[in-house]
Amino acid sequence: MIKKRLGKQKKTGKYMQYLVGGTCVLFVFACYQNMSSTGQAPAIEQIGNFIKEEVAVRAWKNCMPAMLQEDPGERNMSLERFLLDKIEGVYPILGFSDTVTEYDTQVESDLTEGLLAENSQKAQKEQEGKEVAEDGGITDTEEEGKEEEAQEGEEGSEKAKDKSGEGSKKKKKKEKKEEQGSQEKTAKAVEIPREKLNDFDYLIQNFYQVDRTTTIDSSQLNAADMLSKDMKLKGGAEQVQILIYHTHSQEGYADSVPGDANTSVVSVGERLTALLQEKGFHVMHHTGEYDVADRDNAYSYAGPALEQILAENPSIEVVIDLHRDGVAETTHLVSEVNGKQTAQIMFFNGLSRTTARGDIAYLANPNLADNLAFSFQLKLAAEEYYPGFARGTYLKGYRYNLHYLPKSLLVEVGAQTNTLEEAMNAMEPLADILHKVLSPAPS
C-alpha cells in the first residue's frame, strides 16, 4: 500500500512539473505576443535571433580547436610563418605570402662540399640562318645586301654610284649621331642627391637586391664610406692593370653557337678588353675554361689559375669575372643606350655570410668592404650616366673568388634571352663607367 501510494505521488509530482513548465512557457509566449502587439518587442523575431546567435557562438567554439590544431609540418615552422599561415587561413589576402618571389641567379659558390647546388646549364639555342663574324659587326643579312648592291653596280654603274652616295651619307649621319651620343655622356643624365644615399632603406630599395640566404645592414652598406674609398688605379699602363676572365666560359646567348667561343660570353669579354684598351688601360683577357666538365665546382677550379696569374702579374689592380645571367624565357633584359638595343648588366657581390650559418670562416674575404665600394661606385655611375642600364646589385652568401683583390668585380651581362649583339652593345657603357671610376683625375 505504501509503495503504491509513493508511486502515485511521484507520478503526480511529474505531472505537476510538466503542467507548471507548460504553463510558464505559455505565459512567456503570451507575454511576448502581447508586447509584440503593442510594439514593445518583436517576440518571434527576438527568439529567432537568440537561436541564431547561440548557434553561431557554438559553431565558433567548435571551429577554434580545429584552427589551432598543430599540423605535423608546422613543428619546425618559425612563429612568424605559423601566425601568417593561420591569419591567411581565416582572412585570405590572395595568398600574399606565396606571391613574394625572389631572384635566383645561376652563379654558384666556390664550396667544394656542395653547399649551393645549381641547375645544369640551360640548352642553348641553335643559330638558324644567322652567323656573326668574329669582329661582331657583319651579319649574313648585311653581306647579302652588299652582294646585291655589287651585282646592281655591274648592271648599271650610275645606279650603283647613287646607292653608294646614299649609303655614304647614311653612314656619316650614323657616325655623327653616335659621336654626339658619346659626347653627351660627359654630362650626367641624372643627378642623385648624396643625402638620399645616406638613407639605408632608400639605398637597399634603389640599388640592391638582397638574396634571402644572406643578410646585411648599414654598417656594411654605408654610402658615405663606400664613396670615400679611392678606386682610381695607382699604376701606369706600362704593365697589366686589369684582368678579365670567365668562371663560366660556356655561357652563351640566344643566337650563340654552342661550343663556339666567338659567339659566347668570352667574345663579349674580348670586346670589353678592346674598348678598355682604346681608353688607355693595359688589359689581359684570360680565356681559360673551368666549367666544361664540372660546372658546380668552376670557382674552385678557377681559383688556382687566378692565383698564378696574379703572382706572375703583381701590377694587376682590377679583376673582372664576366658572366651571362640565367632568367625565365619570358624575360628580356634590355635597355636603350645611344639608340642601340643594349643588354642590361648586373653587379654581383658575395658576402661570405649566410642567414643560416652566419659568417663563413673558411670563406673569409678581407677585401669585402672594398668589393662593395667598387660595385657601388660603378652602379652609381651607371644610374647617373646610363639610367636603366644596370639592374640592382645582387647580394648573396659565399665568396665567388672576389677575395683576391680589393677591386674585384663580378658582372652579369644580359641573359640567355638576349642576343649576342645586345651583349656586345653593353660593353660600351660598361667600359665608360669603368673608365669614370678607375681613371685618375687629370692633373
Q: Give the pLDDT band (50/70/90) at residue 82.
A: low
pLDDT given for residue 93 in this prediction: 38
CA-wise closest residue to 252 among 184, 343, 144, 139: 343
pLDDT of 147 higher than 80: no
pLDDT given for residue 70 in this prediction: 41
Q: How far apart, in Å, are the Cα atoms of 202 and each of 53, 122, 223, 378?
A: 51, 35, 11, 18
Q: Where are the domains of the chain?
A: 2-99, 190-438
pLDDT given for residue 14 in this prediction: 65
pLDDT of 87 higher than 90: no
Please give the share of the chain, as a percent, with pLDDT higher than 90.
56
pLDDT of 390 higher than 80: yes
Amino acid, single-letter form, for residue 31: C
Dihedral of alpha carbons 243, 392, 339, 420, sign: positive
Q: Give the pLDDT band (50/70/90) at residue 18.
A: confident
Please give the share of the chain, as a percent, with pLDDT higher than 70.
60
Residue in the block written with cell 660546372: 295
pLDDT of 79 higher than 80: no
Per-residue pLDDT tens for 21-68? 777 667 666 665 665 554 455 545 555 665 656 655 565 555 444 444
Phi, psi dihedral angles at 332 (to 5 degrees)? -125, 105
Is the separation of the CB atoms in 43 and 35 below 8 Å?
A: yes
Is the separation of the CB atoms in 436 and 380 below 8 Å?
A: no
**Alpha-carbon gap, residue 163 to 25, rounded angstroms:** 109
Amino acid, single-letter form, for residue 280: G
Q: How far apart, in Å, are the Cα atoms of 59 and each of 49, 66, 92, 306, 364?
A: 15, 11, 20, 69, 58
Amino acid, single-letter form, for residue 223: A
Phi, psi dihedral angles at 358 (to 5 degrees)? 80, -155
Phi, psi dihedral angles at 42 (to 5 degrees)? -85, 90
Per-residue pLDDT tens for 291-338? 998 999 999 999 999 999 999 999 999 999 999 999 999 999 999 999
How large is the C-alpha radius of gyration of the chain?
Answer: 37
**Alpha-carbon gap, residue 173 to 187, rounded angstroms:** 22
**Region 117-127 average pLDDT:** 39
* Mean pLDDT for all residues in the chain: 76
What is the CATH code of the structural domain delimited by 190-438?
3.40.630.40
**Alpha-carbon gap, residue 303 to 400, rounded angstroms:** 9
Q: Give the count of alpha carbons within 13 A of 44, CB side only.
A: 2
Dihedral of alpha carbons 428, 433, 437, 439, sign: positive
How are beta strands 407-415 and 345-350 bridged, if at all? antiparallel
**Region 385-389 average pLDDT:** 97
**Alpha-carbon gap, residue 222 to 204, rounded angstroms:** 11
**Alpha-carbon gap, residue 326 to 329, rounded angstroms:** 9
For the packed helices 420-438 and 368-385, what is the interaxial angle rounded to 10 degrees? 110
pLDDT of 167 higher than 80: no
Per-residue pLDDT tens for 203-261? 999 999 999 999 999 999 999 999 999 999 999 999 999 999 999 999 999 999 999 99
The full 3-state SS of the chain, as one line of letters, equals CHHHHHHHHHHHHHHHHHHHHHHHHHHHHHHHHHHHHCCCCCHHHHHHHHHHHHHHHHHHHHHHHHHHCCCHHHCCCCHHHHHHHHHHHHCCCCCHHHHCCCCCCCCCCCCCCCCCCCCCCCCCCCCCCCCCCCCCCCCHHHHHHHHHHHHHHHHCHHHHHHHHHHHHHHHHHHHHHHHHHHHHCCCCCCCCCHHHHCCHHHHHHHHEEECCCCCCCCCCCCHHHHHHCCCCCCCCCCCCCEEEECCCCCCECCCCCCCCHHHEHHHHHHHHHHHHHHCCCCEEECCCCCCCCCHHHHHHHHHHHHHHHHHHCCCCCEEEEEEEECCCCCCCCEEEECCEEEECEEEEEECCEECCCEECHHHCCCCHHHHHHHHHHHHHHHHHHCCCCECCEEEECCCCCCCCCCEEEEEEEEECCCCHHHHHHHHHHHHHHHHHHHCCCCC
Q: Is the whole model's pTM more than 0.95, yes or no? A: no
